[in-house]
């Protein structure tokens, strides 16, 4: 049975989930100390793992280093600090004093104070399925400078070796999966950009270098934060490895004092014994069940107008696109950039969120009515956190942007970042967004953010560094407030593609824009890295035109559709110019997607063959009695014979019926030998197979 046990004689807490156990204790000095994280154990067995604190055997090596639950700076602690403080008199060391703890069925709070200074620390632990959420809360009666406040330190067991799995990338090349041996010393993954970032993502997985997609123990840590962040792995010469993670960055401090508590974001940890595939499925289940705001809804097939029109937007042009999209079976029509005053290029207009009457003479109402009349929902692109210097807003409020006195205001994409930590900016943003959604019947916002922070100053503010945290919290809060004001509103998070994908934004966005790169071959790799942690039901994927605007590559329409159908299907091409054969194929594939959508968006993902080369890659989704398989041959070499594809997640005692040709297959054979794919010959060959368990 899952739950929380306090072993009073050992001053230890045991948190048990369905398939894992986590335990910690207080040492002789009240320091919260890690005991165990791994396969499920009875609470009664945990005392066998508790040893006494060992004395130093010389003046340089601490035999207990790396075991703290929240590694605090000070004294003879030299491990990577998760908590660094500076009190008003200059004292930096922390000395723990346990006060009390309280628990509910799934939430443990352990309360501490500093032994001398009026500082209170609460460590939070909460199980959500097999994922353990941890965060830290600081409060003080006098001002305290917090140099670093990570959410948690995660202590891994002693393994034969340590290997790190993580993703790297850049614009149009996000979430590229890497696996590498963990170096000794500190390895930091981070974003200093004020957003989650394209170049890394706030999660890391650790195994002993023997785990595969199907076998082996995997430990994972992910941070629920959409601003600057860092995760640090520390591997000592004695073999221990920890992961410490939280918001913030070097040189940016927090202040805690009367009425100014600090609560860190959730750091989520997961142990699985079934390899990276089981880890991915467990993370997906956690996101669907405990993170996403509307996890049981099916995400609609959308059309986005950007690649068809760019900034050349007109009411008639959008009407024509909407009519063509509806004929394809699209359920959500999204008007992208260029609908507001002064927005004929990316040089001007951001901040002046008023409908351009030269393009929409009677406002957006007539277009919205047309879209709704065609049976589709209406969505619109916004970029609330940005302003062009060439805008009425900036001319009226130049102090609203991030800036430092006597320093240039660096522009990227001809725009500056508004300081959402300011109450007046927050209220301005809510006011116009609330009116935009409410007055026009907007069903969907594509929320974009097209540049990182720079000159992140706040002249006249006593604690300017707080903007790094408060901006992100304000964005989250604004999304939450809009959703509360407009319960039918749905949101897609975007930041120049995949620059804002994390557990924090997914708690208030229904889906994320994975990358501006829609090239089908590149997307196979981007989507593979994305799927390590995040589910397909939140992954927006579009079919766009040939040649692709990022890569210049041309790929058959069927292949493009099949790649996008492995997530939340969207269409972004200039469909007015598509030939009749392409439109007919698109209608057929949209209908197919609607049939398989519950399996893709809600099912368990099995990555059967990863896109590690240019051969065949394959995915399988299993939901209730249905299975959907996507197979893609990228390039054909030497007339190589096709291998059967071994499936996973099926019941060997049942037979499975192919929904297209009616043939039946033994579940045991599909698991043991595999399924003949029958891919078409040549390059860019793809296929979708639908199987249903025979009752």
Taking a C-beta distance cutoff of 8 angstroms, is the pair 134, 112 a contact?
Answer: no
Per residue in 323-332, pLDDT (tens digit) is 999 999 999 9
CA–CA separation, 161 vs 145, rounded Å? 38
Q: How sure is the predictor about 103, in pLDDT bands with cuts at 50, 70 and 90?
A: very high
Average pLDDT, stretch 32-42? 97
% of the chain exceeding 90 in pLDDT: 94
Known binding residue 434? Answer is no
**Residue 8 and residue 303: Cα distance in Å, rounded?**
59
Q: Point out the residues that are catalytic.
A: 448, 516
* DSSP string for residues in 308-336: HHTT---HHHHHHHHHHHHHHT--EEEE-
Assigned fold of 609-693: Immunoglobulin-like (2.60.40)
**CB crowding 516-540: b at 16 or more within 10 Å, else e:** bbbbbbbbbbbbbbbbbbbbbbbbb
Asked if residue 443 belongs to a known ligand binding site, the reply is no
CA-wise closest residue to 677 among 602, 592, 622, 619: 619
- pLDDT at residue 349 in the model: 97
The whole-angstrom separation of Cα 380 and Cα 364 is 10
Handedness of CA 518, 522, 527, 529 (dihedral sign): negative
Burial code (b: 16+ CB inside 10 Å, e: under 16) for 459-474 equals eeeebbbbbbbbbbbb
**Separation of alpha carbons 50 and 64, rounded Å:** 12
Task: Find where tokens 């393009």 sit.
Answer: 359
User: What is the DSSP-derived secondary structure letter of residue 208?
Assistant: -
Quote helix, strand, coil % in the chain, to nearest 5. 25, 30, 45
Provide CATH 3.20.20.70 ranges for the chain: 302-513
Tens digits of per-residue pLDDT, 351-374? 999 999 999 999 999 999 999 999
Q: How confident is the model at residue 1, as a pLDDT? A: 54
Cis peptide, bond prior to residue 547, ω within 30 of zero? yes
Tokens of 9: 């004689």
The rounded radius of gyration (Å) of the Cα atoms in the chain is: 26
Residue pair 305/319 in contact (Cβ under 8 Å)? The answer is no
- Sign, CA dihedral 339-341-343-349, equals negative
Q: Which residues pair with 272 in a beta bridge?
A: 218
pLDDT of residue 7 exceeding 80: yes
What tokens were used for 246?
A: 């939280």
What's the mean pLDDT in 245-259? 95
Q: Which of 31, 27, 49 is nearest to 39 (CA)?
A: 49
Alpha-carbon span 261 to 668, nearest angstrom: 57
Q: Sign (positive/negative) of CA torsion 458, 150, 59, 117?
A: positive
The string of pLDDT tens digits covering residues 406-455 is 999 999 999 999 999 999 999 999 999 999 999 999 999 999 999 999 99
Report residue 664: phi and psi, to 5°: -115, 150
CATH annotation of 302-513: 3.20.20.70
Among candidates 565, 617, 615, 608, which has minimal Cα distance to 586?
Answer: 565
Position 460 scores a pLDDT of: 96
Higher pLDDT, 471 or 63: 471
For the chain, the first-to-last Cα distance in angstroms comes to 32
| Mean predicted confidence (pLDDT) in 640-646 | 91
| 516 marked as part of a ligand binding site | yes
User: 353 among the known binding-site residues?
Assistant: no
Beta bridge partners of residue 380, listed in sequence order: 335, 445
What pLDDT sits at residue 636? 87
Known binder of ligand: residue 449?
yes
Contact 353, 340 (CB under 8 A): yes
**Class for the domain spanning 3-291:** mainly beta
Q: Rounded mean pLDDT of the chain?
A: 96
CA–CA gap between residue 35 and residue 48 (Å, rounded): 10
Q: pLDDT by residue (tens digit) across 472-501?
A: 999 999 999 999 999 999 999 999 999 999
Q: What is the mean pLDDT of residues 125-147?
A: 97
Q: Dmax of the chain from CA atoms?
A: 81
What residue ranges of the chain are covered by domains with CATH 2.60.40.1180?
Answer: 609-693
**One-letter-per-residue 3-state SS of 95-137:** CEEEEEEEECCCEEEEEEEECCCCEEEEEEEEEECCEEEEEEE
> Is there a binding annotation on residue 553?
no
- Residue intervals in the chain for CATH 2.70.98.60: 3-291
171 is an annotated ligand-binding site residue:
yes
Tokens standing for residue 359: 């393009």
Residues of the chain with pLDDT > 70, as a percent, come to 100
For residue 649, give the nearest of 621, 669, 677 by alpha carbon: 621
pLDDT at 326: 98
578 assigned binding-site residue:
no
**Looking at residues 337-342, what average pLDDT do you find?**
96
> For residue 610, is pLDDT > 90?
yes
Q: Are 131 and 270 in contact (CB under 8 A)?
A: yes
Residue 368: the pLDDT is 98
What gap in Å lies between CA 375 and CA 382, rounded to an integer? 23
- Rounded Cα distance, 281 and 276, in Å: 9
Instruction: Name the DSSP class of 287.
Output: I
Strand ranges (E), 499-613: 511-513, 539-543, 568-571, 604-609
The annotation status of 64 as a binding-site residue, yes or no, is no
Structure-token match 């099995």, residue found = 606
């Amino acid at each position: 049975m899952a739950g929380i046990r306090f072993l009073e004689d050992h001053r230890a807490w045991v948190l048990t989930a369905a398939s894992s156990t986590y335990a910690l204790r207080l040492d002789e000095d009240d320091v919260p100390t890690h005991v165990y994280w791994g396969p499920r154990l009875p609470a009664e067995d945990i005392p066998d793992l508790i040893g006494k604190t060992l004395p130093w055997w010389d003046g340089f090596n601490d035999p207990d280093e790396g075991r703290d639950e929240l590694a605090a700076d000070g004294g003879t602690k030299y491990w990577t600090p998760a908590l660094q403080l500076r009190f008003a008199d200059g004292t930096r060391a922390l000395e723990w004093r346990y006060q009390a703890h309280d628990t509910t069925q799934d939430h443990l709070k352990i309360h501490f104070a500093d032994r001398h200074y009026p500082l209170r620390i609460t460590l939070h632990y909460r199980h959500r399925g097999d994922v353990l959420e941890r965060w830290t809360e600081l409060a003080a009666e006098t001002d305290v400078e917090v140099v670093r406040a990570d959410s948690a330190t995660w202590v891994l067991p002693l393994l034969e070796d340590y290997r790190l799995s993580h993703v790297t990338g850049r614009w149009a090349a996000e979430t590229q999966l890497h696996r590498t041996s963990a170096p000794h010393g500190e390895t930091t993954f981070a974003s200093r950009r004020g957003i989650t970032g394209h170049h890394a993502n706030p999660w890391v997985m650790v195994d002993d270098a023997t785990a595969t997609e199907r076998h082996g123990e995997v430990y994972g840590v992910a941070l629920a934060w959409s601003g600057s962040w860092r995760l640090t792995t520390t591997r000592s010469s004695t073999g221990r490895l920890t992961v410490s993670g939280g918001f913030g960055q070097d040189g940016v401090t927090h202040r805690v004092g009367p009425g100014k508590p600090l609560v860190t974001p959730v750091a989520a940890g997961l142990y699985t014994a079934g390899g990276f595939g089981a880890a991915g499925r467990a993370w997906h289940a956690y996101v669907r069940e405990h993170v996403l705001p509307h996890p049981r809804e099916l995400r609609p097939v959308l059309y986005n107008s950007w690649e068809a029109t760019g900034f050349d937007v007109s009411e008639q042009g959008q009407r024509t696109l909407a009519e063509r999209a509806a004929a394809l079976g699209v359920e959500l029509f999204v008007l992208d950039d260029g609908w507001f005053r002064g927005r004929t290029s990316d040089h001007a207009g951001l901040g002046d969120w008023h409908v351009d009457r030269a393009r929409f003479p009677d406002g957006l109402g007539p277009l919205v009515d047309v879209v709704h009349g065609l049976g589709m929902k209406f969505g619109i692109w916004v970029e609330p956190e940005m302003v062009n210097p060439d805008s009425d807003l900036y001319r009226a409020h130049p102090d609203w942007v991030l800036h430092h006195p006597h320093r240039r205001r660096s522009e990227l994409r001809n725009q500056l970042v508004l300081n959402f930590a300011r109450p007046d900016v927050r209220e301005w943003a809510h006011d116009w967004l609330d009116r935009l959604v409410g007055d026009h019947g907007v069903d969907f916002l594509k929320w974009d953010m097209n540049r990182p922070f720079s000159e992140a100053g706040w002249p006249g503010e006593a604690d300017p560094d707080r903007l790094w945290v408060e901006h992100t919290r304000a964005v989250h809060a604004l999304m939450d407030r809009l959703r509360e004001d407009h319960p039918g509103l749905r949101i897609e998070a975007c930041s120049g593609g995949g620059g804002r994908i994390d557990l924090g934004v997914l708690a208030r966005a229904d889906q994320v824009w994975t990358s501006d790169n829609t090239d089908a071959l590149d997307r196979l790799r981007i989507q593979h890295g994305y799927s390590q942690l995040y589910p397909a039901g939140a992954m927006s994927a579009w079919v766009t035109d040939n040649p692709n605007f990022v890569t210049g590559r041309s790929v058959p329409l069927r292949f493009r559709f099949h790649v996008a159908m492995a997530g939340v299907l969207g269409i972004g091409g200039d469909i007015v110019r598509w030939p009749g054969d392409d439109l007919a194929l698109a209608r057929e594939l949209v209908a197919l997607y609607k049939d398989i959508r519950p399996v893709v968006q809600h099912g368990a993902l099995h990555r059967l063959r990863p896109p590690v080369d240019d051969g065949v890659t394959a995915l399988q989704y299993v939901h209730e009695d249905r299975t959907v398989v996507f197979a893609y041959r990228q390039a054909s070499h030497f007339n190589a014979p096709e291998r059967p594809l071994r499936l996973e997640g099926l019941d060997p005692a049942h037979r499975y019926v192919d929904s297209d040709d009616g043939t039946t297959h033994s579940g045991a054979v599909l698991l043991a030998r595999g399924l003949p794919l029958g891919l078409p010959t040549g390059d860019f060959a793809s296929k979708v197979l639908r199987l249903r368990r025979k009752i």
